[in-house]
Chain A
Amino acid sequence: MSRTVHDASALEGDLTLDADVAVVGTGAGGATAAEVLARAGLRVVILEEGAYRTARDFTLHEGTASETMYYDGGSRTTKDGAMTILQGRTVGGSTTVNWTASFRVPDAVLEHWASAHGVQGLSPQELAPWYAAAERRLHVAPWALPPNPNNDALARGCKALGYEHGVIPRNVEGCRNLGYCGLGCPINAKRSMLVTSVPGALDAGAVLVTRCRAERVTLRAGRAVGVDAVALDTRGVRPSGRTVTVRARAVVASGGGINTPGLLLRSRLPDPHQRLGRRSFTHVVNSSLGLMPEPVDGYMGAPQSVHCAQFLFRDGVGGKAGYQLEVAPTYPLLSMSVLGRAGRQALQRWGPRYRHFQSLIALVRDGFHEQSPGGRVVLRDDGSPVLDYPVSDYLWEALFDAYLRMAEIQFAAGASEVLPVHTDAQPYKSWAEAKAGIPRLSRRPLGPSLFSAHLMGGCAMGEDASTAVVDSHGRHHQVEGLAVIDGSVFPTSLGVNPQMTIYALSARNATHLASSLGGKVAMRHGQDESTSHPMS
């Protein structure tokens, strides 16, 4: 069956499309929703801000990949510039460029959502079959090969110190252990949305429009009836002057954290309790660079295969903020630009030893405590969204504890020097030196380098309309015909990489939406694996 894809940057006139459902976004939420809806026999139009880049375009050249497949080249930041956000802007969204870690959310998080945020129908038991279906579809399995040296250092350090650690499940099939998942998988081994649900939706008749930015959800008599969008230039950055209009019976917002709240804010939807954009979470990541005696070559081999959950729930769900430890691949541009934050001396002294870098990251579980209310998405003068994310003392405590544990693990794994990624830090030569020095580092914004690859929340779900934007099925509390199906509905962060939870929840909620629109829902999404395999 032929696939219909419009590149909006090439439009010679304005484009108007009619559909049952307009879906905004092709990431973990949008692609899943589009496929479920299209397979239920509904007419679906999907709008994507990024371009349609596939394996043949993936040169693995980091500069090109960053410019063409990430928001702001991978340098999107929070309002004060203190946090750098890695977020995909390409067909498949962040799943096209993520590092393939595929976790289920810990049960304690789902139980907390039910008890503290009024989420219904999402107990671990109720979500389990949706996870299982997504795991089958995306070939999720614990990584069976030995970890690369970057990950092995985390395992080694944890082992020496008696910290619990485990193997990360990955969504790959026929993976050749190249290590360039973050720049797009060149052999289609990563089972991202780009090679599963996007072609699945297109083969079921969905129409995709790329390089097209949704400006607002259109309303009639209080009901969502479509989307107004602008066509972008070939860079996918500036409006070309053409417009794209979708008229539909229902709208699904799936732009992910920041972008979905941004779309709804621009649409001036009723928000009587001022909830929209609030409770935006990031996993507030900090990192530590170790220098190993042997080359680590952290750009090669599965980027993330070992994790340490020893400190994730160290004080219960509602106590001190916990964090998960993982590693980050050391692609050259990413590594050197982060190293440069420590100044020219650090660049000159460490740069030539680039192959020896070992990179640990800590993902802090934000949103589980009154002193961790998350950030807030606001609009700039031109309508573009930006995340304002203040870091509270409560979170600093976790981040500084994580700096210590990361340094301890790196020295235990044999590092000769450790550099906490922080403006004021100089490399430490021993664990004793690090232990004494780290607590003295400043906590001011743009001191510690903070990162996020996991945008969550901003359109929190829950049954109580005074605290949540959407209900537990993603339906907007105030606007008929509008659903949010992506990670922005999470009422807290997850504590683990979110892609699997977005797939599972999105398939569930899209199936519900398809039924309510009169679609024919035959089976649980993911159970039929016979179609849309890219290699078939």
Chain B
Amino acid sequence: MPEQLPNLPTHAARAAWRPSRRVLLQTGLLGALGLWGVSVVARGIPSAAAAEAGAPGAAPVADGSDVALAFFRPKDRPLAGAVVEALLDWALPPDPAARKEAVERSVLGADRYFASYTPAVQDEARQALDLLELAPVRWLGGLWSDWSVAEPAAVNRYLEGLRRGRLNLSRQVYRLLEGIATVGWYSQTAAWPGIGYPGPPDVPRPTGEAPL
């Protein structure tokens, strides 16, 4: 018999806040702060936040929404929402209440989409979000306010920095964030009139009892 591979990590174990050393090492950005210092910060601060935030899928969540998340943690909502609003401000409804709802629906759309990823890929994406949510990492990209209150213009400057970044990781992180916005919004029928997409045709389906 072939040797047994290690057991697949359980979802709960992986959901705990634990930036992989690989991610940290790849992040040359953090070199400026000193890897040791940041590692200590990274391991210290968020454990309480993670406990408070809960694992993905926990419902109801503390921020007033009763929709269970499958990929994001409640703590990711401010970042995800800020990215949607910054990249798509020109496309979202101008009315503040309608805009808030559109952003919220986009975050949930992205959540469903990312939940279809291979578990290991979901873990990597969550680790990237964990990193971005660290204040020192935000500061290094020139974003001074917390994600929950950051101005769209400031967020866009930050995103543009990531997009044009010197490091592969920076450009990869941009694609992740850009995907949250575009996948989240354009999977909504409400987004389609804005680009003139009429939606799919309505066609009669095959009938009958057979599975095909």
Chain A residues engaging chain B, CB cutoff 8 angstroms: 3, 5, 52, 54-56, 59-64, 66-68, 70-73, 75-76, 80-82, 176, 178, 180, 183, 186-188, 194-195, 199, 215-216, 218-220, 230, 235-239, 266-269, 295, 299, 332-333, 336-337, 339-341, 343-344, 347-348, 351-352, 354-355, 380-384, 423-424, 444-447, 534-535
- B163 touching A423, Cβ below 8 Å: yes
Q: In whole angstroms, what is the CA distance A306 to B24 when docked? A: 47
Report how many residues on chain B are interfacial, defined by Cβ distance under 8 Å.
Answer: 59
- A54 touching B212, Cβ below 8 Å: yes
- B117 touching A73, Cβ below 8 Å: yes
Q: In whole angstroms, what is the CA distance A481 to B172 when docked? A: 42
- B116 touching A73, Cβ below 8 Å: yes
- Is B65 at the interface (CB under 8 A from chain A)? no
Q: Chain A residues near B168: list those with CB within 8 A.
A: 80-82, 444-446
Chain B residues engaging chain A, CB cutoff 8 angstroms: 1-3, 5-6, 8-9, 11, 70, 86-88, 90-91, 109, 112-121, 156, 159-160, 163-164, 168, 171-172, 175, 178-179, 181-183, 185-189, 191-192, 194-197, 200-201, 203-206, 210-212
Q: In whole angstroms, what is the CA distance A80 to B118 when docked? A: 16
Q: What are 14 A-B residue pairs whose CB atoms fall within 8 Å in the complex?
A: A61-B200, A63-B109, A63-B187, A72-B117, A76-B118, A180-B200, A187-B203, A266-B5, A267-B2, A332-B197, A340-B179, A348-B90, A354-B196, A383-B5
Residue of A nearest to B172 (CB): A81
Among the listed A62, A337, A352, which residue makes an inter-chain contact with B179, where contact means beta carbons less than 8 Å apart? A337
CB-CB nearest 7 A-B residue pairs: A63-B187, A60-B200, A354-B195, A446-B171, A268-B2, A337-B182, A81-B172
Residue of B nearest to A67 (CB): B116
- B200 touching A72, Cβ below 8 Å: no
Among the listed A68, A71, A337, which residue makes an inter-chain contact with B118, where contact means beta carbons less than 8 Å apart? A71
Among A3, A339, A347, chain B packs the most CB atoms within 10 A around the CB of A347
Using A382-B120, A423-B163 as known contacts, say yes or no to A336 and B182 having CB atoms under 8 A apart.
yes
Q: Chain A residues near B88: list those with CB within 8 A.
A: 347
Using A72-B116, A219-B2 as known contacts, say yes or no to A355 and B194 having CB atoms under 8 A apart.
no
- A195 touching B196, Cβ below 8 Å: no
Q: Chain B residues near A343: list those with CB within 8 A.
A: 159-160, 163
Q: In whole angstroms, what is the CA distance A63 to B197 when docked? A: 14
Given contacts A219-B2, A380-B120, 18 further A-B contacts (CB under 8 A): A56-B205, A59-B200, A66-B183, A70-B116, A71-B118, A72-B121, A180-B201, A235-B70, A343-B163, A344-B156, A344-B159, A347-B91, A348-B91, A351-B195, A354-B195, A354-B197, A383-B6, A534-B210
- B205 touching A195, Cβ below 8 Å: no
Q: In whole angstroms, what is the CA distance A183 to B187 when docked? A: 13
Q: In whole angstroms, what is the CA distance A70 to B9 when docked? A: 23
Q: In whole angstroms, what is the CA distance A199 to B189 when docked? A: 34
Residue of A nearest to B192 (CB): A332
Q: In whole angstroms, what is the CA distance A298 to B30 when docked? A: 44
Q: In whole angstroms, what is the CA distance A62 to B115 when docked? A: 16
Q: How far is the CB of B165 from chain A (nearest CB, A)?
A: 9
- B8 touching A239, Cβ below 8 Å: yes
Residue of A nearest to B114 (CB): A73
Residue of B nearest to A356 (CB): B196
- A534 touching B203, Cβ below 8 Å: no
- A235 touching B115, Cβ below 8 Å: yes
Q: Chain B residues near A216: list those with CB within 8 A.
A: 2, 5
Q: Chain B residues near A81: list those with CB within 8 A.
A: 168, 171-172, 175
Using A56-B206, A62-B187, A186-B205 as known contacts, say yes or no to A341 and B175 having CB atoms under 8 A apart.
yes
Q: In whole angstroms, what is the CA distance A67 to B71 when docked? A: 13
Q: In whole angstroms, what is the CA distance A238 to B13 when docked? A: 14
Q: In whole angstroms, what is the CA distance A82 to B171 when docked? A: 9
Using A55-B212, A188-B212, A354-B195 as known contacts, say yes or no to A63 and B113 having CB atoms under 8 A apart.
yes
- A352 touching B5, Cβ below 8 Å: no
Q: How far is the CB of B5 from chain A (nearest CB, A)?
A: 5
Q: Chain B residues near A186: list those with CB within 8 A.
A: 203, 205
Q: Chain A residues near B195: list those with CB within 8 A.
A: 332, 336, 351-352, 354-355
- B186 touching A336, Cβ below 8 Å: yes
